[in-house]
Chain A
Amino acid sequence: MADKKMELIQGTLDLLILKTVAQGPVHGYGIAQKIMLTSREKLQVQQGSLYPALHRLERKGLLKSEWQESDSGPMAKIYTLTPAGRKQFQEERAQWRRYADAVGMVLES
């Protein structure tokens, strides 16, 4: 069971995307890969939600994008964090930690 890939908890995808992009410019595929790798393949991002989420974040002004030549062939749409995105990321991360701690405390008591 430990190996089973987990569905993302509602609302956490945005945070994961922001975190991934905060580490440096990256394209959509790269974001999905990175999340999978860093979660040791426990978190699986559905493509079906990844791209709509990216577009949503871009619309909110948290991400910006640029078409760039990629090492892997065709032009890739590379996402970077905007200052607003960085601020949002920090807030959401703090919030998530408080939330996870709280849930943890309840579960461990």
Chain B
Amino acid sequence: MGFWWKRAETDLDREIAHHLHVLAAEYERQGYSRKEAALLAKREFGGSEQIKESCRDERSWAWLNGTTQDMVFGWRMMRRTPVVTVAAVLSLALALGANTAILSLMNVVLWQDLPLANPGQLTAVNWQAHGFPRELADGASGSMIREDGRSVADFFSYPSFQALRRSVSGKAQLAAFSFPNQASVSYDGRPAVARCRPVSGNFLTVLQVRPQLGRLLTDTDDSYGAPPAVVLTHRFWEQALASAPGVVGSALVINNKPHVIVGVLNRSFYGLFPGDGTDVYTPIHDEALLVGPGGKRDLDDNRFWGVSLIARRAPGVAENDIAPALNAVFPTTWSRQPKDKNKTPRIRLDEGRRGLGSLRRDFRNPLLVLGGLVTLLLLIACTNIANLLLARAAARQKEVATRISLGCSRSRLMKQFLTESALLALAGGIASVAVAYLTANLLGEFVSQRGADTVPVAVAFDGRIVAIAGITTALALLLFGLFPAWRASRMPSAIWLKEGSGSVGFSPRHKWNIGRLLVLGQMAMSVVLVMSAVIFTRNLVGIESGDPGFERRNLLMFDLRPGTSGYEKARLNDFYFNLEQRLAATPGVAAVGLASMRPMNIGGWWEDVQLIGRKSSDNASINGVTPNYLPLYTSRLVAGRNIQWTDIASDAKVAVISDDLARKLGGTRVLGQRLRFSDGPPGAIAPEYEIVGIAPVIAPTSMKDRPYAVWLPFGKENGSATVVLRTSQPPRVVLPAVRRTLSALDSHLPLIDVITMEEQISKGLQRERMFATLCDGFGILALLLSVVGLYGVMASNTARRRSEIGLRLALGAMPGEVLAMILREGMALAAVGLLLGLPIVWLGAKYLETELFRMKPLEPASIALAVGALLAAALVAVVIPALRASGIQPAQTLRQE
């Protein structure tokens, strides 16, 4: 194309030269001198450049060629101001990348279907009732949420599952699954910890998961006496077994019992929800895993509700077609019929295509808030680019005016300006892919749920998301690039040429030109982002710096599961006693205690406790502990005595309660009184405990909620325990010695989830940290961008007013006055932007509120911090142009005129 362009250009030059030559010859014949003739010919011919420009537009491929030219020209313009260009591209890349990353995460968590065939046929089978039907069940494992005043739960007894499955056969296939259990496994002699999810034999076939190797589990695998079989997830096979080729048919030892690996699932199946941490699928009847807190579970017990259900409806079968059959059968599987009709569970079917579990519910609001904030960031970045283009167009006034008077068409000029913004968008877009890629998996970590059952959500990039983000930016940039282009192309050439040639007098520009308006908008949006950063950081700091009631440093904890490693119940008590003695003697360990529930792990064991003879009950966090557990946190009790080993050995029904609960119940008078668990994990007979001690208030479950706490004697037949160590050196230093001690005690017992108390606390604040970290990033970026924007507008304004300022100075204005004037103008601009932004913050506050802990979004301190940060940033942006203006030498500027 370049060749053709050149040829056409020379053609034209030669053609015009010929014309001039002939014309000149004519004049020469009329008697003019050669020189005069040439001059006359030129005069008659007129502006040859203008003609050339028109001819160029007439050429058929001129449009295309013009584009290449524009791109080359745009590239040259960018190279002329590399810092500005890089800043613009970088800010766009960061903002767009963050958008793509968060949009991708939203897609994975909120919108994406499970990677299975016909996901629309999947239905989650739940039930709902007013409260938990205590009459029907003694124990449950699953989740129960409150929704519109009703409880919705996902757990059923195994006999219920079997009956429900039969009731809809032909119309839908029903499969059951439980929460994954962490188990110690070994393959080829290498030990590991695996999350084993018990599922009904048909579970994987119902989901229509494709195996990568071997086969899926079958109903035959899932029966008592069947050879133990398991299926591995692709992730576990890859990460724990190093993609060993011959796994199918070989043995995986789970809790000391060998299992045959019958298959490996395909890579795309991540489980029942994004971030599902299941490593191994085991049949529900697998005896190695049939262990609950109280020992073996009887699957035929219809008073233990511990499996969740998923259904795949046959093609053409609607949810309403199977609900009646399920509802008819469900009550027939109960041990009795509830007296209270309100507490009768009714089947409730929910959409299953996007996965099961609480991930979507938990992260819907946070992700929408983040999505909104990150969109603002993109707008701010786009505004900056618009400002940059405007400034560049202004700097090119003279050039543009010249081109217009030389006959360059205005549409051609506009195209050129648009090409430039498109180039910026393209560069930013490409760079943003890298940003998105780097940040997306970081985000995935944040969104993983708290439990040990989950892994970070893998954020897959969807081409559609990248396309949406790209197109949005392209549109935004075209929109933002269109105005500068349009304005540049509309300049009346004569005026601009005149002004450019030495602006006489003051250029009476409107006070609120478009550049200033853009900066105002930018400031307003920055207020929202900076404010969010301040709010969420204060939220996190507020929670973290709270007093848990104990020294959180130098505490180490891990879980042990002797119950699933071959210890008989009778040996467990001795084992725990020995364990404490041996660990306490380990160098670096100051004290050791055991608990049945991991501290500071959110969730846990909760009960409604009631003093005998009182009507009201209070919700409390319960833990079973050894005598040395409470002394880990607090040096002495408020009143009464601690739990003792004899309590544990004799199964004594005694309790130590927290001071705040004691105060609520009547102070030290409660010592010796009896406490009853009136609600909680349902029991036929509510157990009663004698209050023997009152302990100081310590946070049992998290830094956020401070529930009442009740400590009971550690259950001597507990299959598992959390070991908590108070160390005299940093915990990580002590850990090797601890491992050695344990290995000497039992070399087959793995330490599960080894973590320091500080790490455990911070794990519980993941969501708060996600908000604080992301919003800090957004806020800093917004601050930087608006500083750049404000600086750009102020700098170009003062540059334009050089002569005015020079004249003022010449007429006797003091440099300090000029400085103050510019500062005043710039800060006024920032202040108005701030004022515009605050109502937006006020409007958005209710969306932020749900993510905050004991904090209002609009606290005066937060507003003051955000406004202070923005004003300080604005001052930095304004002070440089102001100083420059006050340093103008009047003589110099006047001479320039």
**Interface residues of A, Cβ cutoff 8 Å to B:** 27-29, 46-48, 51-52, 55-56, 59, 67, 70, 72-77
Contacts and interface: CB of A to CB of B under 8 A. Distances in A.
B23 to A, nearest CB: 7
Contacts of B51: 47-48, 51-52
8 contacts: A27-B22, A29-B18, A47-B46, A55-B58, A72-B25, A76-B22, A77-B11, A77-B14
Given A59-B59, A73-B25, A74-B14, A52 B54 contact: yes
Interface of B: 11-12, 14-19, 21-23, 25, 44-47, 50-51, 54-55, 57-60
Given A29-B23, A52-B54, A67-B14, 9 more contacts: A27-B18, A27-B19, A27-B22, A28-B18, A28-B19, A47-B44, A47-B51, A74-B17, A74-B18
Query: Is the contact region of chain B dominated by helix, strand, or loop, or is it mixed?
Result: helix
Given A48-B50, A55-B55, A56-B58, A74 B21 contact: yes
A70 to B, nearest CB: 7
Contacts of B12: 51
A67 B14 CA distance: 10
A55 B59 contact: yes
Given A29-B22, A73-B25, A51 B15 contact: yes
B47 A29 contact: no
Interface centre among B14, B55, B58, B60 (most CB of A within 10 A): B58
A77 B16 CA distance: 10
A48 B58 CA distance: 13
Contact of B58 (A29, A59, A67, A74): A59
Per CB-CB distance, the 4 closest pairs between chain A and chain B, nearest first, are: A52-B54, A55-B58, A29-B22, A56-B58
B14 A29 contact: no
Nearest to A32: B19
A76 B23 CA distance: 13
A22 B257 CA distance: 102
A59 B46 contact: no
Contact of A76 (B18, B46, B55, B59): B18
A56 to B, nearest CB: 5
A75 B16 CA distance: 11
Contacts of B23: 29
Nearest to B24: A73
Contacts of A48: 46-47, 50-51, 54
Contacts of B19: 27-29, 47
A24 B780 CA distance: 74
A48 B48 CA distance: 8
A59 to B, nearest CB: 5
Given A48-B46, A48-B47, A59-B58, A72 B16 contact: no
B380 to A, nearest CB: 46
Contacts of B11: 77
Nearest to B17: A74
B630 to A, nearest CB: 94
Contacts of A27: 15, 18-19, 22
A85 B760 CA distance: 87
B28 to A, nearest CB: 11
Contacts of B15: 27-28, 51, 76-77
Nearest to B23: A29
Interface centre among A47, A59, A70, A72 (most CB of B within 10 A): A47
A3 B784 CA distance: 71
A29 B15 CA distance: 9
Nearest to B25: A72
B18 A59 contact: no
Nearest to A73: B21
A29 B14 CA distance: 12
Contacts of B57: 52
Nearest to B19: A29
Interface centre among B12, B19, B21 (most CB of A within 10 A): B19
B15 to A, nearest CB: 5
A76 B18 CA distance: 6
B396 to A, nearest CB: 26
B696 to A, nearest CB: 93
A7 to B, nearest CB: 14
A70 B19 CA distance: 12
Nearest to A52: B54
Given A46-B46, A73-B25, A51 B55 contact: yes
A73 B51 CA distance: 23
Contacts of B14: 67, 74-75, 77
A67 to B, nearest CB: 8
Contacts of B55: 51-52, 55
A47 B45 contact: yes
Contacts of B45: 47
A51 B314 CA distance: 75
A51 B21 CA distance: 16
A55 B12 CA distance: 10
Contacts of B16: 51
Contacts of B22: 27, 29, 72-73, 76
A13 to B, nearest CB: 13
Contacts of B47: 48
A103 to B, nearest CB: 29
B21 to A, nearest CB: 6
Contacts of A70: 18
Contacts of A51: 12, 15-16, 51, 54-55
Nearest to A46: B46
A68 B23 CA distance: 18
B65 to A, nearest CB: 13
